[in-house]
Amino acid sequence: MNRSAQWSVLLTAGLLLFMATTAWGHAFPDHSEPRVGLALQTSPPRVRMWFDGALEPIFSTLKVINARHQQVDNGDGRVNPAVHTVLEASLPPLPQGQYRILWSVVAHDGHRTEGDLSFTIGPGLPDPPRAGSETATLPQLFVRWLNLIGLSMLIGTLTFRLLLTRSVALPRQAFEKVERPLRRLELSLIVLVALTSVGELILRAQMMSDVHLAEINVTLPVVLLQTHFGAVWLVRFGFVGLQGFLWGLGRTTMPQSQRAIMLSLSTATVIALTTSLSGHAADWGDLTMPVLIDWIHLVAVSIWIGGLFTFGFLLQRFAATLSTEEAARGLAAIGRPFSRMAAYCVFTLLVAGLFNAWLQVRSLQPLITTSYGLTLLAKVFLVGLVLALAAVNRYYFLPLLRDPAGAGSRLPVKTISRLGGAWLIGAGRSEERRIRHRLRQFMRLEWILIVAALALAALLTHLPPARHILAHQHLEQYTLR
């Protein structure tokens, strides 16, 4: 393993170990009836709780207990069939005393949250509300991280293959050498997405049902057939299977066909949509603007970082075999349309990312007072570093590779040369080989930072957005004392 790969593994392992201590569930109570801490004169006919996200009825429960921890409701605690954000139970006539509402819910994204609220009949002092959940485990975070890497690389690889089929920069022999490893890489990524999807189903089912892994065979059919996450997962895995079928079909048909690649790319973007439908955005419903924006954000990120990896993969693989000047110029020429497409994707993901951040954080203060906000800031910082490196590649190294004689007169190349061009290129080899070597190094560093950013993205899917924390603080603030 080279030094860059070692740093990548160590950095990611450290991030995942940090993540495993900070993850929460995703559905918090917004208000209740009776009101939190309220002292009632007579027994209420029912208790109700409103949550800030849709709940899974099969795994969400509510019961009311008295001071002796005896259940006193009618045993019909359930999610309201018409409104899946309401948890309720009916009550018989109750004597004076203090009572606690014990609740345990599972959100559409599969995360379990539990807690209690109190109210009194007659005189009494209320207890503060409580809400929390078990932390996400290292396997859950690791599988999620691998799934994000596999999906983004798959979309990026297919997009890059589409660019290759539309490019006339590469000679026929060089194109065939590039196409074959990309096909093998595509198959590896399909297998990775399939395996991590199965792993995520198992781990998410364990989280939802709160059972041991050995008992998961009983829970899996319930999750698949009776939950929102299970329905979305079945659609997801069906499209993963279709992706594999299309890859196999490409072995007997013309693999360079733009139509075939477009069909595979469309299938991969549907897989990305299922990721949005089983995440934070689905709290507002499946056919909503947050889901659409989150999906656009995910696809734009995948095209950018997945294509970046694919381009670096090609440069690394063919640095020695494509030694002719024509082939080297061809790869550099392909980098230009990819760089232009990446710029569009970066603009799109920034706009969509700002929208998502506003939905989940709502104000500036939670950015520095919540785990979600701090993680989001760290992710933005890493993405900023990647953009800086990408700018150097786009406006310095690629022009020098494409047109060594004329690139020196361009303003971006001139400016970067004056600021540190000699250090960037280095010494000890022919100028063209040095430029190609530095380009590969910078792209490798970009990928290390991207791997770290994806680890933070995996953490964000397991952390409650700031709006959930604010909902719980709202309950605490308005507890009657």
Q: Which helix (H) or strand (E) holds 7?
A: helix 3-19
- pTM tops 0.85: no
- Please state the rounded mean pLDDT for residues 471-481: 49
CA 19 to chain centre: 14
Closest CA to 153 of 312, 33, 382: 312
**pLDDT class for 380, splitting at 50, 70, 90?**
confident
pLDDT digits (tens, 9 = 90+) for 266-285: 999 999 999 888 876 666 66
| Strand pairing class (112-121; 39-40) | parallel
- The number of C-alpha atoms within 13 Å of 387 and in the hemisphere containing its C-beta is 14
Q: Bigger pLDDT: 223 or 315? A: 223
**Domain residue extents for the chain:** 29-134, 138-422+429-472
Which of 141-155, 373-387, 393-407, 421-435 holds the top average pLDDT? Answer: 141-155
- Options 3.30.1320.10, 1.10.10.60, 3.40.50.720, 2.60.40.1220; CATH for 29-134 is 2.60.40.1220
CA distances to 28, 49, 62 from 103, rounded to whole Å, are 10, 9, 4
Q: Is the pLDDT of residue 235 over 70?
A: yes
- Residue 52 and residue 27 in contact, taking contact as beta carbons nearer than 8 Å: yes
Q: Is the pLDDT of residue 302 over 50?
A: yes
CA 330 to chain centre: 34
Average pLDDT, the chain: 77
- Residue 179 and residue 256 in contact, taking contact as beta carbons nearer than 8 Å: yes
Q: Is the pLDDT of residue 166 over 80?
A: no
- Residue 4 and residue 17 in contact, taking contact as beta carbons nearer than 8 Å: no
Q: Bigger pLDDT: 79 or 113? A: 79
**pLDDT class for 168, splitting at 50, 70, 90?**
low
In the chain, what percentage of residues exceed pLDDT 70?
A: 70
| Token duo for residue 396 | 């310095």
Q: Bigger pLDDT: 419 or 112? A: 112
3-state DSSP call for residue 39? strand
Q: Bigger pLDDT: 189 or 260? A: 189
pLDDT digits (tens, 9 = 90+) for 183-197: 888 899 999 999 999
pLDDT digits (tens, 9 = 90+) for 325-350: 555 566 666 766 777 787 888 888 78
**pLDDT class for 467, splitting at 50, 70, 90?**
low
Q: Each residue of 31-62: b (16+ CB within 10 Å) or e?
A: bbebbbbbbbeeebeebbbbbbbbbbbbbbbb
**pLDDT class for 472, splitting at 50, 70, 90?**
low
**pLDDT class for 73, splitting at 50, 70, 90?**
very high
Q: Each residue of 125-159: b (16+ CB within 10 Å) or e?
A: ebbebebebebbbebbbbbbbbbbbbbbbbbbbbb
For every residue of 224-248, DSSP letters joined together read HHHSHHHHHHHHHHHHHHHHHHHHH
- Please state the rounded mean pLDDT for residues 67-76: 90
- Residue 98 and residue 120 in contact, taking contact as beta carbons nearer than 8 Å: yes
